[in-house]
Amino acid sequence: MAWNLQSDRPIYAQLVEQLRRMIVTGVYPAGSRLPAVRELAVEAAVNPNTMQRALVRLEEEGLLYTQRTSGRYVTEDHEKIMEAKEAMASELIGCFIDEMMRLGYTREQTIQLLEKKEVK
């Protein structure tokens, strides 16, 4: 999984998004152990403090939890992960529909177009 950071937004927010994506897509499956902060920081080529903040944020969201001695794990609560996944999906769809409306399509037309679109 390559980290892809844009230069015009806070790195912290981008790290949170990308880590969340990795969790919901199963790069880090439920219950698995995350690499150490420094390792993740090196992998993403970012500051370890920033990576730490992003991980704490995901802990607050309930997607990660820390075991004092052995490190940081992905939650075993599958529902929680699904919730996060659905939230991401709904945000994506929201954006999409907004864009389509800006192009002048109605909701129904958009759905029709969607159904016609072949999935490769």
The SS3 call for residue 74 is strand
Min CB(80)–other proteins separation in Å = 27
Spatial separation of the C-alpha atoms in residues 41 and 44, rounded to whole Å: 5
Residue whose CB is less far from other proteins, 44 or 84: 44
Spatial CB neighbours of 100, under 8 Å, sequence gap ≥ 6: 110, 113
Please report whether residue 47 would count as binding other proteins according to CB under 8 A.
yes
Question: Can you read off the two tokens belonging to residue 59?
Answer: 């802990």
Count residues contacting other proteins (CB under 8 A)? 17
- Ranges within 23-42 binding other proteins (CB under 8 A): 38, 41-42
Residue 73 bridge partners (DSSP): 33, 65
Please report whether residue 118 would count as binding other proteins according to CB under 8 A.
no
Which residue from 9, 22, 113 is spatially nearest to 63, judged by alpha carbons? 22
Which stretch in 44-52, 59-67, 89-97, 103-111 sits in contact with other proteins by CB under 8 A?
44-52
Please report whether residue 110 would count as binding other proteins according to CB under 8 A.
no
Query: Where do contacts with other proteins occur on this chain (CB under 8 A)?
Result: 5, 7-12, 38, 41-42, 44-50
